[in-house]
Amino acid sequence: MNIQEYIASGKLEACVLGIASEQELQELEQLCQNYPGVKAAKEAFELQLEANAMANAIPAPAHLKEKIWQQLDAPAKQPAVVKSFGFYKYAAAAAVILLISSVGLNWYFYNKYQKSLDQYNSLYASTQQLAKDNQAKQTQLSQYESTIQLLSNPAYVPVPLNGQPVAPNSLATVYWNRQTAEVFLLSNNLPVPAADMQYQLWAIVDGRPVDAGFIENTNGNAVVKCKNISAAQAFAITLEKKGRTDITTPQGAIHVLGKI
């Protein structure tokens, strides 16, 4: 190949200017490797081109350089991979925080629930107790009411029963309604008997004792209803053994006695 002919052909310039075919480019590359003269001619043209391009060149607007750096920096600061990784990282962190908060809240609310349950139970118990107490008070109150009614009723004749030699300090009062035959007893002072003993009220009718019932409640200011007695000259209370067979005949000592 005639190197000078090639150099003068214009193919070299076409290659440098980027308007040559792929075939022409390969040809030049090969020639440059084999012929230093071709390579030198190519480099000389490149330098000429560069020198001409630089001469009196028009400067680009000053802000462009900054814009280029902004464009180059932007993806480096926040690459897509990091972004998506960041999303999952934050999502995972958020999930963990939510889980921990949830467990914490569960524990907190469970404790609150337990405390409330305890409070509820104790409140329920005290309410029950109050209801029971209230009922007892109601009963007591109605007893007092009936006692007062009885005491203030002129139909009832009070019969004081005074202590006898075996129990000189004992005292009781019978309230007797002659018309209705109703008998009530008020234990003013009857000592609590032994567990196997009980007081028994008697009406003395024509010199003979008639059973008027056992007295269960010996203390308190309430009257207790006894058996009806239509006629009597006196009332007495004896202390008897519990569970005896014949309750129509007194066997124990007379503790209190009162004549009408």
Partner 1 sequence: MPTAVTYTEHELVTLLKQRDQQAFNYLYDHYSAALYTVILQVVKLREQADDTLQEAFVNIWRKIDSYDSSKGRLFTWMLNVCRNLAIDAIRSKGFQQAARNQQMPEDDFFDKAGATTALNVDSVGIKKAVEKLKPEHRVLIDLAYFKGYTHEEIAGIENLPLGTVKTRIRSALTQLRTQLS
* Interface contacts to partner 1, rule CB under 8 A: 8-11, 13-14, 16-19, 29, 42-43, 45-61, 64-65, 67-68, 71-72
Closest CB to partner 1 among residues 60, 195? 60
Nearest alpha carbon to residue 187 among 163, 219, 234, 149:
219
| Distance in Å, CB of 92 to partner 1, minimum | 33
Beta bridge partners, 99, equal: none
SS3 187: strand
Closer to partner 1 by Cβ: residue 9 or 134? 9
Three-class DSSP category at 159: strand
Q: Which is nearer to partner 1, 48 or 121 (CB)?
A: 48
Report angle CA 90, 94, 98 to the nearest 5 degrees.
Answer: 175
- 6 vs 156, which CB is nearer to partner 1? 6
- Closest CB to partner 1 among 40 and 98? 40
Sheet containing 223-226: give its strands across: 208-215, 197-205, 234-241, 254-259, 156-163, 171-177, 183-189, 223-226
Q: Provide the minimum distance between the beta carbon of 70 and partner 1 in the complex, in angstroms, as a whole number.
A: 10
If 0-12 CB within 10 Å is exposed, 13-18 middle and 19+ buried, where does residue 163 land?
middle
Considering the complex, what minimum distance in angstroms separates the CB of residue 48 from partner 1? 4
- Shortest Cβ 8–partner 1 spacing (Å): 6
Closest CB to partner 1 among residues 53, 195: 53
Closest to 192 (Cα-Cα) out of 174, 166, 172, 218 = 218
CA 81 vs CA 70, 91, 92, 94, 119: distances in Å: 20, 15, 16, 20, 56
Do 196 and 241 contact (CB within 8 A), yes or no? yes
Q: Shortest gap between Cβ of 106 and partner 1 (angstroms)?
A: 53
Q: In angstroms, what is the minimal distance from the CB of 109 to partner 1?
A: 57
Q: Which is nearer to partner 1, 48 or 249 (CB)?
A: 48
Numbers of helices and strands, H then E, in the chain? 6, 8
Closest contact distance (angstroms) between CB of 41 and partner 1 is 9
Note the helical H segments in 55-210.
Answer: 63-77, 80-151
